[in-house]
Structure 1
């Protein structure tokens, strides 16, 4: 299928010099591991607010609603919209350089978070973190796509998408342990310094891959600089790209809404201590979310060999499995039972990520990949990251003001309808992909 303004990844002619799956060597895997480590830092920085919510609330007198705004809307205002010009710049310049500069900016701002003496100062620092992190993921998506060929991309992106799981798990374990001993500020400072050093190393050790080098059908204009407004118009008028973005956004409304308040909920409502969180919640994140990322990439690669609709069916089915376990997690009377149910939720909540990223990267021209990845992140993160935590925080304050004893629990229940919305959007996307595949097969015949 070749849509207007796109280049399909489906083809049989391998361009000269394009690495086959068998030819992927150590340099490609070194690049993937390095990018994944940067993503770990990216997500770790992002999650520290949620991980250290209780001590931050105690120190700066922050309400649930204010906490939701810091981790949600205020952060996303910069993270989502700055990603567009950064994506356009990276499509026209060196993507490794853009990634390195972005890592340095968000890491420096993370250090500033640890030095904040008031809520407004913390808000300002988090906005700069969002500004920097906007340049982290889209260039990495494109670099991986130009290094790994179709049939291996979803698996490679699945490894890369271990970053959130590893970042969240390390953040919980590291953040809780350090905060318990040295206070909540020190984790921000230490992780920020590690990020600055990493930014320098990224610029020194990674090489920029050729655009479109691994596509099965090489685009004749892969080396040309993509125009900004035509790419923007192509993305927002393309039903496949928009449904992938909206389905992912509805999913992230749940994942970020839960993720920013899970530690606070487990401590306040389920009776966990910060030491318990640092061990058991970190383990759930590492095994649940991490396992889901790895499994999802392999499942999607296998499903899409027979039909591109697998990009949509896999996340729809996984979310249908996750939803009842999510309700059980909120209801559970004890934190051990809650964590067991949450582990299942974590496995199935994240199938959408590798599927949507791989679909978008396959669907557009090589010289549009960073900007298209940024636009995907704009839509799904503004909905999920921007509005999910904000919704939960404001709902918690509302339930508290109206006399609910377990007001945060009530707020988390309100995320359930977004599971249904996400499932329906992915099923709609599957229908379109099936129809396009049938049309392409008819043309070939």
Structure 2
């Protein structure tokens, strides 16, 4: 992200009366800003997803179970991400959004770098484990990343007119899957070659450089610039005002329920997919990331953009397409995921996982398009923060722990059934595993793989539930939309 000459173009936008037609700034600079925001969002999910990529070496070194790892990647991050997101979004309604994003990028990047330095140490007579230190770093990552999406969505809405926002927001939403793809491209090979700690430090330092470049090249747009001339633009809306506006938007809450359930499944599966591939198919970390996770993340990225594009193309004939297209995708992904997580052949598994990912992720385009479209300019950032609070606290916060603890339950059931009731699952990790008798080691390897596989299969079936809420959203969507 270098210096872009289009900054000059941003100083001479089209006439304000035409903002709802042309958007803010020159076309080239508008594109640069959108790509800069996408790059930041990719970095956001790269840092966030890296821990799931290196799940096996981290669990082996720290000696933690699937359930504890789910807690580390889920609620440990999501709670603070969700709680801090709303006050940051409120400030983004009146403060400089580019400065907010710059500071937050630097904070989460520094915390990511520190994650690579965690280890057990003692304060007085109290020993603090590496697990606790890593959890604290994840909290800081969550605090920093809370300041990314609400102001970014608000910036996009001011740069792009209503007719183009669906595509622009869908393009930005691609950062979720593109960030996951990048985490695999970079994190897997680097962790395999130099260790998981180096991967965290490398990506963290790079993020601090991105924060500086972002501040120097992205211009703060006037608020509400690209809204229609008749759109209501109150000078300031309180949090209560935002909630009051949303309380009458039934489609917002139905979409939020659908997106939360979809993210519950998606974040959980993404967190444990690498561990599944290593345990079940015996691949290396690099093979799991490059041969499996990268193709599935690429397929998901295409799915996000295609859903937004298709909705925009058919909107005149089917104005509710932005709701029913993702609903179809969520239902259709279930059999493909079941195939992917049950197939004995790893290439069949790859096909199932890629097809499932490509079909399901279209809900992200709907999530942001509906979330931004049903509220006015002054409450967009707050509406996005409320949406993300729900999605991340209940979806991201609960999804990984759900898969992890269900996996732990299946492991315990297997241990009791096969005569290893006294074998703790933590004993099947890292150096502790090597100290066990050969029979116990064999049981650990088989039971670890099967327990996680069963948990992923159960979660895959749950993808059908969010489709119901997206379909219910159709009834009041057109009535609720402010910008059409």
TM over 0.5, shorter chain: yes
Cα RMSD (Å): 2.0
1:184 aligns with 2:196: yes
Moved more, 416-425 or 102-111: 416-425
1:271 aligns with 2:278: no
Structure 1 position 21, deviation (Å): 5.0
Write the distance in 1 (CA, Å) between the matches of 2:461 and 2:287. 30
1:333 aligns with 2:344: yes
Structure 1 position 423, deviation (Å): 1.1
TM-score, length basis structure 2: 0.84
Write the distance in 2 (CA, Å) between the matches of 1:366 and 1:307. 25
Moved more, 82-91 or 233-242: 233-242
Give CA deviations for 1:279-310 in whole Å, capped at 9, x if unaligned: 21243134211211221120121233334422
Write the distance in 1 (CA, Å) between the matches of 2:293 and 2:99. 32
Question: Aligned residue pairs: how many?
Answer: 424
Structure 1 position 414, deviation (Å): 2.0
Alignment correspondent of 1:373: 384
Gaps of 5+ in 1: 1-13, 441-445
Match of 1:424 among 468, 473, 476: 468
Write the distance in 1 (CA, Å) between the matches of 2:357 and 2:458. 18
Alignment correspondent of 1:42: 44
1:412 aligns with 2:456: yes
Q: 1:137 to 1:242 in 2, by over 3 A?
A: same
Write the distance in 1 (CA, Å) between the matches of 2:131 and 2:395. 23
Q: Which has the larger radius of gyration?
A: 2
* Superposition map of 1:29-428 within 5 A: 29-117=31-119, 118-222=130-234, 224-236=235-247, 238-403=249-414, 405=447, 406-428=450-472
Conservation of the 8 A alpha-carbon contact between 1:271 and 1:335? no
Write the distance in 1 (CA, Å) between the matches of 2:259 and 2:230. 28
Write the distance in 1 (CA, Å) between the matches of 2:41 and 2:151. 11
Moved more, 237-246 or 132-141: 237-246
Structure 1 position 418, deviation (Å): 2.6
Q: Secondary structure at the match of 1:392?
A: helix
Conservation of the 8 A alpha-carbon contact between 1:15 and 1:217? no
Q: 1:380 to 1:199 in 2, by over 3 A?
A: same
Conservation of the 8 A alpha-carbon contact between 2:68 and 2:404? yes
Alignment correspondent of 1:4: none
Write the distance in 1 (CA, Å) between the matches of 2:244 and 2:74. 27
Conservation of the 8 A alpha-carbon contact between 2:184 and 2:294? no
Conservation of the 8 A alpha-carbon contact between 1:51 and 1:171? yes
Structure 1 position 362, deviation (Å): 1.4
Conservation of the 8 A alpha-carbon contact between 1:212 and 1:218? no
Write the distance in 1 (CA, Å) between the matches of 2:307 and 2:26. 21
Q: Secondary structure at the match of 2:477?
A: helix
TM-score, length basis structure 1: 0.91
Structure 1 position 163, deviation (Å): 1.2
Give CA deviations for 1:170-211 in whole Å, capped at 9, x if unaligned: 211211111111111011111111111111111111111111
Alignment correspondent of 1:9: none
Conservation of the 8 A alpha-carbon contact between 1:113 and 1:125? yes
Gaps of 5+ in 2: 1-14, 120-129, 416-446
The runs of 4+ residues in structure 1 deviating greater than 6 Å are none
Write the distance in 2 (CA, Å) between the matches of 1:192 and 1:168. 15
Conservation of the 8 A alpha-carbon contact between 2:157 and 2:226? yes
Structure 1 position 311, deviation (Å): 2.3
Q: Secondary structure at the match of 2:36?
A: helix
Q: Secondary structure at the match of 2:159?
A: coil
Conservation of the 8 A alpha-carbon contact between 1:21 and 1:152? no
Write the distance in 1 (CA, Å) between the matches of 2:179 and 2:230. 35
Write the distance in 1 (CA, Å) between the matches of 2:304 and 2:261. 18
Moved more, 267-276 or 70-79: 267-276
